[in-house]
Amino acid sequence: MAFCFPPEVECMIFEIAARSAELCVVERINLLLVSKRTQHWVESIIYRTSIYTPPSGGSLHLLPKDAAPPVPSSKLHFVRHLHIVGIKNSDKAFIRSMLLECRKLTILSLLTVNGPCATLIFHLILEGKLPNLERLSINMRRVSRESYSSSDRPIHLIQQVLSSLTHLELLGDPPYSRTLEMCSFLGTYLPNLTHLCLLGSSDIPPSIVTTILSSSLGPKLKVFAITRFHLERSDTLTGKQENIDRYEEIGVDDIRLVCLKQEVTNFVPDYLSEARGSSNGAWEFVEDIIEERKKKTGRV
């Protein structure tokens, strides 16, 4: 008599396999073909993280895209993490319809999306079309100023549709006046934002840092990270200890501020790790630094 695992154990085995970094994307997709039962168990994991990059024939792909078939339109409701790369104006109609099908998105990356498309997606967010969004990565220089500097909607309605957003990554290149405008908006409209990261290839002036920390946004933040922050040291980032003392070098003594010499938020690997069971990827790295500081200094 053949030995059979209990269904709950069998389900757990297939879920672990679907998240495994040891399997390539094709091997994980093949798990869907084992049986109807296994398809039901793992399809929400398989399709959890996707990428859209033109030209892709108007479809999403699993990561890595080169080895993956398109995500079937009937499976878009399983997508939770979406990385959109360099879309064109001609993609606007597809992007809108696609995002309306991905209403359960929790993580969205738009760092390389052009102006009209970035503005369109930002409007969808403000309209509450992505009500479960928890983490957003965006280049605000590509979003029209009117999208966030003025709104006819009551503040409490915007706060309601953005209430789930807790982690935000902004490309922070000059002009920094746009960064400050955006942070003013965040302080007003994002009631539960706790993690802010400024991504940029240029020096971010200490005055910008202190202005943000002293704004209405400041008291909400548990983590304020800055990447590619060029300091006088020429050595490379070698580990957490390199970051622990660095926040005081710019004259801002705040335990929540983490200045990273090089960018650790590498989005595609980060999104892949999240699809396989890690919760916040690079954010966990920064949170660990702050926890070590608290233990070291006794500060809270």
**Mean pLDDT lowest among 78-87, 146-155, 227-236, 278-287:** 227-236
Full strand arrangement of the beta sheet holding 81-84: 61-62, 49-52, 81-84, 107-110, 135-138, 167-171, 195-199, 223-227, 257-260
For the cut 80, the answer to whether the pLDDT of residue 265 exceeds it is: no
What is the predicted pLDDT for the residue at 237?
A: 35
| Burial (Cβ within 10 Å: 0-12, 13-18, ≥19) of residue 197 | buried
> How sure is the predictor about 166, in pLDDT bands with cuts at 50, 70 and 90?
very high
Phi then psi for residue 67, to 5 deg, are -105, 5
Q: How far apart are CA 187 and CA 79, in angstroms?
A: 29
For the cut 70, the answer to whether the pLDDT of residue 232 exceeds it is: no
What is the predicted pLDDT for the residue at 133?
A: 92
- Which whole number is the average pLDDT over 58-67? 62
Domain boundaries, the chain: 1-46, 47-297
Tell me if 213 sits within 8 A of 183, measured CB to CB.
Answer: no
What is the predicted pLDDT for the residue at 123?
A: 85
Cβ neighbours of residue 115 closer than 8 Å, sequence gap 6 or more: 142, 143, 144
**Mean pLDDT lowest among 198-202, 255-259, 284-288:** 198-202
Which candidate, 129, 48, 142, 44, places its Cα nearest to that of 95? 129
> How sure is the predictor about 268, in pLDDT bands with cuts at 50, 70 and 90?
low
Q: What angle do CA 186, 190, 191 make, to 5 degrees?
A: 130
Tell me if 261 sits within 8 A of 237, measured CB to CB.
Answer: yes
- Which whole number is the average pLDDT over 163-181? 78
Q: Which of 271 and 167 is assigned the larger pLDDT?
A: 167
At what angle are helices 7-19 and 36-46 packed, to 10 degrees? 40
For the cut 50, the answer to whether the pLDDT of residue 236 exceeds it is: no
